[in-house]
A and B are shown apart, each in its own frame.
Chain A
């Protein structure tokens, strides 16, 4: 794993600052960059260990944090910052896999790689996952904290304790955010015919 050059690190740090300041373009670019990094890392792991290997999203994120931040770790002010963006990018990686598979089913010939881990339950229905993604995008505009918790917990597999540690809030707060997010998402994802 080669470290990014100093110039690249500086560039990235600037990108983060601009994204923090609310520049939409910078945010998009940052997501895209993180996404690329995660994607690259995932591919590498899959090549090395085979698609069945228990590659966890959280491990990927740890690796990305190290790789992206350069040796001095000066791109993101801290891990919590990094995760705020990276978790969303991770969701992007997963959702794109789903989309690619759906395209393949229709005869695209694209063979998607698998990101898997020993999770307790799967979402069987890709459509539901995509609907969740849409709903989350909406939720993110309303209350980014809630969307972030869902990204971290559901898409990245972090525990409440870990999320609390990274965001420096009480575990109970994280749980509350999670409960609220679930209610909103459940509500948003109900089919109109219900």
Chain B
């Protein structure tokens, strides 16, 4: 198709739009019509539709681009001392060639594997060094690694013993081997793996395609330790569990739970993979029954699902009998979720298999208490901060909400440093490490705790210090139930030994207060914070850092309890104290500045002052974190500044600042981090204020995706986001789509606030509106009427909610063709006084009033109402919303009727 002119393109483009909407059966007819009406374009159109079919069949531009792999490799190419002869195949990490030495030294045929990944300078050094180590691995059942090198153009290659054989599963099938023969083969495999393990080499990527059997029935294992050669990070899952085959990510069929969750790879990982291989060889089926055919389902099954008993998968009676009992038990033991519960060594695994062959009892024991796969869940070490959570302020039914920001990650880093330190200190002493048992940092801390009493004798002070360190570390790893008794002990003992006024005692109490906060125990927190503050104030010279921390905690408390206006006083005191008494580069000064800005924001009496405070907090934060924009604390500062800008009406500026926060957050914490959800939600609410409805919806959609990606579909924040999505969809007249998110939001709110809580009302109202628009007017009417009693309570129900309720009833009446009633209801809604920001959000309601007046036949008033509404839209400089379009259409229709 030649390049069209701009005019041709305009036509072609809209025709293409039509074409893309067509069903296959209608296409021919449509094409013929186009051939008649626009013959000059018909040929192009046909071509385009052809292209579309081709895409549907073969795909095109699926996924995203990556630079293509380095493809050394043509017959005749030279790779170190070898010359490539013919391509054997495309393996997981590159292409494999049959090759021969060209210097005539040995006349051996080898296999040369060209790796697709390119290594950095460090990577190359390591590659060569590790390659030499691997080359020393010699065993009759292991394909020998002969050489590992890098060519001058940076092409990494491996030279391996050339093996002629078939994959073990294919071999077993084609030779129709019986159970015993298969088990014997596996024992050979295990011998090879055991040899490698005793040389400290873990395979990491065992699977049938890496286990060949030659013509004489001899087993040869390929690619030992190679996954590690090209991994950057020791212990990272890297390419092993997620092997690429010709560009496609393979399903992680042989990946162990720890590989899937990103945990440590040990010899136990190989045991698991061998368990899967054994399972498949014995049953010719996969261990996990999946409800969905997706990678995610498989990963979930690996981590939390129970494998099926091999004997249950086999129909043949003879086989079933052979498998049932010991063989079942052996396989399942290798497939345990927790590495520590599998066979400790591959040799033990092989021994049991041999015992089965010999008819002797096996050592593996089925779990007699009803074994269920334990959840091997990776703990999310969300850092916690004393002073960075910011509370929600909702502007009710106007649909604008300001968000609860995430938690600062600075503390996470500190906690990680601490735990690394502790891990380092205890690692050598601990007999469990290095035995294939995976310990989490929290486990280690708990072990350290257990060790405290023994190793410190009567060094009470040291023990207490360590106890506090361990307890607060556990708390920041969110291991609250473990941390709590420790911290309580520290507080109690410190009070006894050092006195209640001692800094160590108070420090412990402040930690406990934070713990209460994150568990939502606000009353307990209140008691502790009040006590700590009182104690500090009673001292002649209290530690300023402690006092500031305690004050900031009390600010948090007031905000979390919804008494935001009371936060100003302690926040001011904290800031003054921090500025006066703490050194210039103390981190708490940043916290105090940020909290001050937040307190002013909530106080809401002087938004200009709040803006100044926010800007100054931003300066301070940036200075403290050395211009690193992506530091989580800097992101928080952006968030605060953004909201402050929003409150003074500089909405577009607010959005711009939040966009920076979004980018910074993506860089600093990764693209799927949860803070971005809150940033996006804030952006969305501002977009709504300037009428960018579709933009706001897109932001809320993204926020939702981030919540889901972080495994959160139950928190109040998630519920609020769903609620907003629903609201916007209603505004965009996409009522049917709105019902699901709105109901979701209602569900979440119900759970958190309880039935009958006023916070549920806006959702109920909105659901009714959607119901009414999707043909369930009666249900809607009943719902709205049923809320009357609650709505009468003007103390607990915000005005915005009542307004929304009246408005909704008005819409319903209009739908039921009772426009006079509709007018009355909407007018009463508009009569309720609101502040200027909310007034802006009410313009769509005035449009609805105008439309109702039109229905009622009062054309004059309708016209003036709609005209004034349109003027308000324009004056506010909003983007054109659905509502404004409705008004335009109605006014245009009225104009036409006059003419």
A contacts, CB < 8 Å to B: 1-3, 46-47, 49-53, 56-59, 61-63, 65-66, 69, 71, 73, 77-79, 94, 97-98, 101, 104-105, 109, 111-126, 129, 132, 138, 142-143, 150, 153-157, 159, 161-162, 164-165, 168-171, 173, 176, 179-180, 182-188, 190
Contacts and interface: CB of A to CB of B under 8 A. Distances in A.
Given A94-B65, A98-B68, A168-B698, A122 B55 contact: no
B438 interface: no
Interface stretch (B298-306, B653-661, B850-858): B653-661
Contacts of B153: 104-105, 109, 111
B16 interface: yes
B47 A187 contact: yes
15 contacts: A52-B232, A59-B666, A62-B667, A66-B664, A94-B67, A97-B67, A105-B72, A112-B118, A114-B67, A116-B67, A126-B68, A161-B705, A165-B695, A187-B51, A188-B1
B64 A153 contact: yes
A126 B16 CA distance: 29
A116 B702 CA distance: 24
Q: For the complex, would chain A's binding face be called helix, strand, loop or mixed by DSSP majority? A: helix
Contacts of B154: 111
Given A52-B118, A101-B67, A105-B153, 8 more contacts: A47-B120, A69-B660, A79-B659, A94-B65, A98-B68, A129-B68, A142-B4, A161-B702
Nearest to B248: A121
Contacts of B628: 1
A114 B118 contact: yes
Contacts of A47: 120
A101 B627 contact: no
Nearest to A186: B51
Contacts of B117: 51-52, 114, 116
A71 B634 CA distance: 12
Nearest to A61: B663
A78 B62 contact: no
A74 B387 CA distance: 30
Interface in B1-19: 1, 3-4, 6, 9, 13, 16-17
A165 to B, nearest CB: 4
Contacts of A176: 17, 20
Contacts of A104: 153
B65 A154 contact: yes
Interface in B57-74: 60-72
Contacts of B68: 98, 101, 122-126, 129
A113 B61 CA distance: 23
Interface centre among A156, A164, A188 (most CB of B within 10 A): A164
A186 B67 contact: no
A186 B60 contact: yes
B627 A1 contact: yes
A162 B709 CA distance: 15
Interface in B702-760: 702, 705
B680 interface: yes
Nearest to A125: B68
Contact of A124 (B64, B246, B701): B246
Contacts of A182: 55, 60-61
Interface centre among A79, A109, A132, A143 (most CB of B within 10 A): A79
B687 A73 contact: no
Q: Which 6 A-B pairs have the closest CB atoms?
A: A168-B695, A121-B63, A164-B698, A62-B663, A120-B63, A165-B698
Interface centre among B9, B47, B660, B687 (most CB of A within 10 A): B660
Contacts of B4: 142
A169 B694 contact: yes
Contact of B64 (A51, A61, A154, A161): A154
A63 B660 CA distance: 10
Contacts of B9: 142-143
B231 interface: yes
B656 A78 contact: yes
Given A122-B247, A157-B64, A52 B231 contact: yes
Given A1-B628, A46-B120, A183-B51, A171 B701 contact: yes
Given A59-B667, A114-B67, A162-B702, A73 B660 contact: yes
Nearest to B1: A187
Interface of B: 1, 3-4, 6, 9, 13, 16-17, 20, 47-48, 50-52, 54-55, 60-72, 117-120, 122-123, 152-154, 230-232, 238, 242, 246-249, 622, 627-630, 652, 655-657, 659-660, 662-664, 666-667, 671, 680, 683, 687, 692, 694-695, 697-699, 701-702, 705, 879
Given A49-B232, A56-B671, A111 B118 contact: yes
Interface centre among B69, B120, B692 (most CB of A within 10 A): B120
Contact of A170 (B118, B680, B697): B697
Contacts of A143: 9, 13
A150 B64 CA distance: 10
A125 B628 CA distance: 39
B625 to A, nearest CB: 11
B261 to A, nearest CB: 16
Contacts of B66: 115-117, 119, 122-123
Nearest to B244: A122
B152 A109 contact: yes
Nearest to B47: A187
Nearest to B732: A170
A129 B627 contact: no
B624 to A, nearest CB: 15
B622 A71 contact: yes
Contacts of B687: 168
Contact of A63 (B65, B667, B705): B667
A120 B702 contact: no
Given A120-B62, A129-B68, A164 B232 contact: no
A180 B698 contact: no
A30 to B, nearest CB: 19
Nearest to A141: B3
A159 B680 CA distance: 15
Nearest to A178: B61
A111 B151 CA distance: 11
B65 A52 contact: no
A101 B119 contact: no
A111 to B, nearest CB: 4
Interface centre among A49, A52, A118, A126 (most CB of B within 10 A): A52
A12 to B, nearest CB: 16
Given A46-B120, A73-B656, A153-B64, A142 B6 contact: yes
A43 B169 CA distance: 44
A154 B695 CA distance: 21
Nearest to A111: B154
Contacts of B246: 124
A3 B697 CA distance: 33
Given A122-B66, A180-B13, A168 B694 contact: yes
B48 A187 contact: yes
A161 B697 CA distance: 9
A65 B659 CA distance: 10
Contact of B3 (A71, A114, A116, A142): A142
A1 B663 CA distance: 15
Contacts of B699: 165
Contacts of A77: 656
A190 B52 CA distance: 12
Contacts of A138: 3
B702 A165 contact: yes
Nearest to B50: A187
Contacts of A111: 118, 153-154
Contacts of A170: 694, 697-698
Given A51-B118, A187-B51, A180 B67 contact: no
Nearest to B3: A138
B123 A62 contact: no
B65 A58 contact: no
Interface centre among A57, A77, A132, A186 (most CB of B within 10 A): A186
Contact of A51 (B119, B248, B666, B680): B119
